């Protein structure tokens, strides 16, 4: 065993360094204060220029009522329902799991480990409001489970199957709600500013560096740091600086975040995924904010080198993200856009790899634009956790509790939940597209794009316009197919517009994401291709041959989406299964043949498709070769004739292929298919 560890250390020295750093933090973390203090340094000497100072930003479309909800600590996190987050709050539970709130929770300053209590108390006394009610940052306020703020983060496991979701406190602790709150040009803007400062100080005091659940994931540490930086810039945008002690505490916290990100990037065997991109992009913001800190130039160079190198790995030649998920393609694109914007444009242009990256980024953005459904949102092929880097201008609706109960299968609305429930179109890529176009072309649509322009000093990257159209390629029809047809059984049939035949239909494909899109007047059909050579299967599903269909503006067949990850592994597998996508289930008795220990698929799904066009009809065939011991060869056909779309397959449908209850977003199940169309929810929204 020792020899094996030595070989691994030699082959992957970065993994060894990470292990050694983790052990160092375990051993000394409880013995001394983990906060950075920097005596003798002022905030002015640490913090650089504010790129947003005196910049006029377009008004946010975030409702003022939503801003008020955030000020009152009413959050909606990953299907929790909108409720006020506080210590000792009642929690509804998740599925069959419910954890009771402890009756004797210590005061926030006493929850941290002893060596950090003095500094935490100092930070907390800077909150200039005796009526401020602290947020319980360690709580999954869906299940009720709490982590301990005094526990070393490197000893906190990510547990599966116990009903609690570590992503809930992580999501809240990203602090993405603060910039959204600050961008709202409300009459009580001063109150929003004060509340943002109080929440920043509350978080810093309750979460000493390296302790508690919110330092477990480096990705979330990096995203939080970027949102802290942007919040500080927005707070001081008009030139009015915060008091020196407050600025110094925030600056030192950014130093702590930078040290952590640099020490623990998620890099495995020389490769990474969206987590690693977040680490680099977050570090880009930290380094830009801490212009006067000695390590900042090295951190900036590390971030630049990381983005340029790993974007080459993680984005295919057509601009698609290698993880094979539409959601993670959107997230990774957004991360890279913000990361490059935070790095000075002059610094970015000096690297020869820059041109290739910008071309890929342009294609990645065009993929998102092409994939938008009739309601403006993205489909959910591949897993989704509804993750964002920034979320500055969310598309929202406000519903009362009774209406929400009619829209969502879970949660059941409880008396302790807020009267107004906020739902978000989490898969609407409008903001991602806006910031991408601002970075690439200098367009300024909305506050997020204006912030990009300020970061870039109005210097757009301006890639080759032709590069923007390479993400999808047109599929040319063939008159005859050489493939052996299988016996097909009619499965579903719909009446469609008679214009959806002949040359009125267009067919394009994105090989990197494994998708074919067929469009006609009032028709939108997206089909999952058997992917040829997927490199990463973590966020892929057994969904080859599955499809999502819209006709005449109505969603007829939804993609089931993703429910949850670690709280309920069996539900995660259910939503990734072939049966959940209306396909025949695998004929196996041993789950290990299909899933690894993390619930990721083991089987690569490869196959072929063909697009046939005859005088009287159009057909799309998809073939999935035999998987020995699992399934026979499968074939699905989409047949377009005048006024009709018929779907047939080489298997007979039955109860075993019944699709799962569709998820609106991570943690949210819709009661009916129509609630997946956000336009339907907007019709029900309260006036605000």
DSSP-assigned letters across all residues of 337-391:
HHHHHHS-HHHHHTSTTHHHHHHHHHHHHHHHHHH--TTSPPP--S------S--
**CB within 8 A of 547, min separation 6: which ones?**
525, 526, 527, 528, 557, 559, 638, 647
pLDDT band, residue 11 (cuts 50/70/90): low
What domains can be seen in the chain, in order of their start residue? 32-468 (1.50.10), 472-657 (no CATH)
Q: From residue 102, how far is each of 147, 211, 222, 270, 587 by CA, in Å? A: 12, 20, 31, 43, 46
Q: From residue 247, how far is each of 192, 258, 308 by CA, in Å? A: 17, 17, 32
Answer with the residue of higher pLDDT: 580 or 346.
Answer: 580
CA angle 606, 595, 570 (to 5 degrees): 125
Answer with the residue of higher pLDDT: 632 or 614.
Answer: 632
Asked if residue 164 lies in contact with residue 139, where contact means CB atoms within 8 angstroms, the answer is no
Q: From residue 113, how far is each of 36, 455, 612 by CA, in Å? A: 16, 38, 67
Q: From residue 442, how far is each of 251, 403, 428, 434 by CA, in Å? A: 31, 41, 21, 10
pLDDT band, residue 9 (cuts 50/70/90): low
Q: Quick check: 532 pLDDT over 70?
A: no
What are the percentages of helix, strand and coil residues in the chain, rounded to 5?
Answer: 40, 15, 45
Q: Quick check: 578 pLDDT over 90?
A: no
Percent of the chain with pLDDT over 90: 56
DSSP structure string for 198-266 = HHHHHHHHHS-TTBSGGGS-HHHHHHHHHHHHHHHHHHTTTS-PPPHHHHHHHHHHHHHHHHHHHH---
Q: What is the pLDDT of residue 655?
A: 44
Asked if residue 351 lies in contact with residue 308, where contact means CB atoms within 8 angstroms, the answer is yes
Q: What are the pLDDT digits (tens) for 332-343?
A: 999 999 999 999
Residue 608, strand partner residues: 623
Q: From residue 516, how far is each of 23, 102, 215, 416, 605 by CA, in Å? A: 48, 52, 40, 45, 16
By CB atoms closer than 10 A (0-12, 13-18, 19+), residue 410 is: middle
Asked if residue 314 lies in contact with residue 364, where contact means CB atoms within 8 angstroms, the answer is no
What does pTM read for this prediction? Answer: 0.92
Q: Quick check: 616 pLDDT over 80?
A: no
Read off the pLDDT of each residue in 457-461 and give the average, rounded to a whole number.
85
Q: Quick check: 586 pLDDT over 90?
A: no
Across 201-205, 440-444, 533-537, 671-675, least confident range: 533-537
Read off the pLDDT of each residue in 526-540 and give the average, rounded to a whole number.
70
Percent of the chain with pLDDT over 70: 84
Asked if residue 96 lies in contact with residue 145, where contact means CB atoms within 8 angstroms, the answer is no
Most confident of 281-290, 453-462, 594-603: 281-290
Which of 235, 238, 215 has its CA nearest to residue 225? 215
Q: What is the pLDDT of residue 104?
A: 77
Answer with the residue of higher pLDDT: 266 or 9.
Answer: 266
Q: What is the pLDDT of residue 1?
A: 46
How far is it, in rounded angstroms, from Cα 458 to Cα 439? 9
Read off the pLDDT of each residue in 573-591 and give the average, rounded to a whole number.
79
Q: What are the pLDDT digits (tens) for 423-455?
A: 999 999 999 999 999 999 999 889 999 999 999
pLDDT band, residue 399 (cuts 50/70/90): very high
Q: What are the pLDDT digits (tens) for 34-72?
A: 999 999 999 999 999 999 998 999 989 999 999 999 999
């Amino acid at each position: 065993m020792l020899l094996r560890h030595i070989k691994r250390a030699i082959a992957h020295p970065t993994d060894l360094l990470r292990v050694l750093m983790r052990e160092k933090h375990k051993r000394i973390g409880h013995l001394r204060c983990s906060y950075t203090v920097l005596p003798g340094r002022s905030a002015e000497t640490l913090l650089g220029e504010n790129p947003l100072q005196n910049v006029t930003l377009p008004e946010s479309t975030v409702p003022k009522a939503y801003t008020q909800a955030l000020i009152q600590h009413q959050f909606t996190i990953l299907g929790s329902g909108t409720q006020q987050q506080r210590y000792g709050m009642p929690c509804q539970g998740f599925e069959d799991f419910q954890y009771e709130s402890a009756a004797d929770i210590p005061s926030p300053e006493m929850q941290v480990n002893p060596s950090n209590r003095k500094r935490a108390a100092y930070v907390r006394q800077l909150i200039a409001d005796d009526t401020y009610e602290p947020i319980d940052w360690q709580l999954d306020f869906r299940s009720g489970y709490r982590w301990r703020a005094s526990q070393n983060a490197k000893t906190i496991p990510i547990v599966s199957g116990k009903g609690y979701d570590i992503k809930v406190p992580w999501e809240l602790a990203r602090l993405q709600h603060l910039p959204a709150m600050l961008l709202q040009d409300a009459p009580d803007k001063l109150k929003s500013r004060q509340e943002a400062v109080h929440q920043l100080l509350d978080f810093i005091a309750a979460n000493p560096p390296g302790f508690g659940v919110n330092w477990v994931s480096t990705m979330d540490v990096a995203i939080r740091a970027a949102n802290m930086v942007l919040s500080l810039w927005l707070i001081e945008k008009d030139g009015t600086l915060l008091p020196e002690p407050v600025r110094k505490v925030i600056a030192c916290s950014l130093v702590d975040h930078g040290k952590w990100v640099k020490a623990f990037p998620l890099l495995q065997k020389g490769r990474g995924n969206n987590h690693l991109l977040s680490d680099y992009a977050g570090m880009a913001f930290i380094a830009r904010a801490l212009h006067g800190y000695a390590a900042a130039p090295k951190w900036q160079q590390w971030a630049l080198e990381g983005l340029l190198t790993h974007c080459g790995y993680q984005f295919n030649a057509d601009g698609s993200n290698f993880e094979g998920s539409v959601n993670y393609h959107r997230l990774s694109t957004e991360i890279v856009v913000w990361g490059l914007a935070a790095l000075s444009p002059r610094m970015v242009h000096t690297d020869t790899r820059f041109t290739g990256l910008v071309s890929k980024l342009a294609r990645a953005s065009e993929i998102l634009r092409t994939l938008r459904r009739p309601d403006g949102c993205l489909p959910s092929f591949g897993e989704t956790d509804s993750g964002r880097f920034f979320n500055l201008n969310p598309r929202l609706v406000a519903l009362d509790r009774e209406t929400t109960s009619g829209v969502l299968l879970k949660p059941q609305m409880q008396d302790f939940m807020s009267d107004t429930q906020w739902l978000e179109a989490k898969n609407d890529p409008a903001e991602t597209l806006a910031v991408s176009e601002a970075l690439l072309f200098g367009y300024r649509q909305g506050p997020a794009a204006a912030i990009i322009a300020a970061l870039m000093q109005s210097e757009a990257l301006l890639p080759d316009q032709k590069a923007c159209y390479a993400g999808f390629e047109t599929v040319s029809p063939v008159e005859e197919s050489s493939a052996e047809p299988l016996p097909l059984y009619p499965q579903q049939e719909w009446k469609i517009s008679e214009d959806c035949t002949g040359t009125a239909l267009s067919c394009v494909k994105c090989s990197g994401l494994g998708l074919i899109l067929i469009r006609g007047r009032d028709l939108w059909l997206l089909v999952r291709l058997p992917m040829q050579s997927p490199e990463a299967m973590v966020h892929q599903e057994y969904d080859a041959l599955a499809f999502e269909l819209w006709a005449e503006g109505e969603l007829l067949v939804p993609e089931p989406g993703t429910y949850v990850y670690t709280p309920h592994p069996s539900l995660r597998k259910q939503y990734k299964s072939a049966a959940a996508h209306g396909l025949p289930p695998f004929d196996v008795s041993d789950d290990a043949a299909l899933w690894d220990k993390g619930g990721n698929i083991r089987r690569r799904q490869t196959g072929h498709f063909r697009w046939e066009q005859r005088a009287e009809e159009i057909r799309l065939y998809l073939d999935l070769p035999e998987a020995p011991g699992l399934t026979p060869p499968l074939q699905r056909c989409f047949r377009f004739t005048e006024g009709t779309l018929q779907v047939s397959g080489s298997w007979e449908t039955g109860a075993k292929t019944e699709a799962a209850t569709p998820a609106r977003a991570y943690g949210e199940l819709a009661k009916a298919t129509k609630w997946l169309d956000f336009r339907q929810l907007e019709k029900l929204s309260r006036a605000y």
